[in-house]
Amino acid sequence: MTSDLSILLKTPLEAAERIKQEAGSCFLPMVDAEEEVLIPGVGGWPATSMPRKEMCKIIQSRMTEIYSMVRDQVEKKGFLKHLGGGVVLTGGGALLQGSAELAREIFGIPARIGYPLNFGGLFGEYNSPTYSTALGLVMYGAEGLLMEDYAAPQGKHKRDGFFHKARKWMQEFF
């Protein structure tokens, strides 16, 4: 998406990413027809503007492609009929305005943005869909390793349990 914007807006990737985050939308019905997006000038070129609807068309086409590929794979595996609770969107793309609405349209079921569970020690900036998948995988792995520790005989600690592995990893990493 950012690469598409960078090419079409003739702006560096960093500027395209910032524009996408600040003014991006992936669901055309949510964008005002009169709204303009400022494209900062680079390399001595003056700043320009473009209709936000045009930018939304670029983003929506890429998001539609991504969601459609995911839907096709989920349907191919026979799981779509089991998603009664709907689709949960994670990652940075979930933060785009209209992401849940577009997903709802493409999947034909409810969709929402997934945030990490609020657990102790998590800083506010990590409480974002951007980190929800990574944090969920860490929690899933930690839960499995803790279960191994609890399965050890009373009074004994497994040398391959969570705390042993975490300590060993810390020693190797730092």
Q: What CATH number is attached to the domain comprising 86?
A: 3.30.420.40
Give Dmax (Cα) for the chain. Answer: 72
Can you give the length of the chain in residues?
Answer: 174
- 3-state DSSP: the chain helix, strand, coil percent, rounded to 5? 55, 10, 35
Q: Are residues 90 and 158 in the same domain?
A: no
122 within a domain of the structure (yes/no): no
Q: Are residues 91 and 140 in the same domain?
A: no
Number of domains the chain is built from: 2
Nearest by Cα to 119 from 142, 89, 100, 96: 142
Return phi, psi of residue 133, to 5°.
Answer: -65, -45
Residues of the chain with pLDDT under 70: 118-125, 142-174
pLDDT of residue 43: 81
Q: Are residues 37 and 107 in the same domain?
A: yes
Q: Are residues 98 and 31 in the same domain?
A: yes
Q: Are residues 56 and 140 in the same domain?
A: no
User: pLDDT, tens digit, for every residue of 54-85?
Assistant: 999 999 999 999 999 999 999 999 998 888 88
Quote the domain boundaries for residue 89.
2-113
pTM for the model stands at 0.74
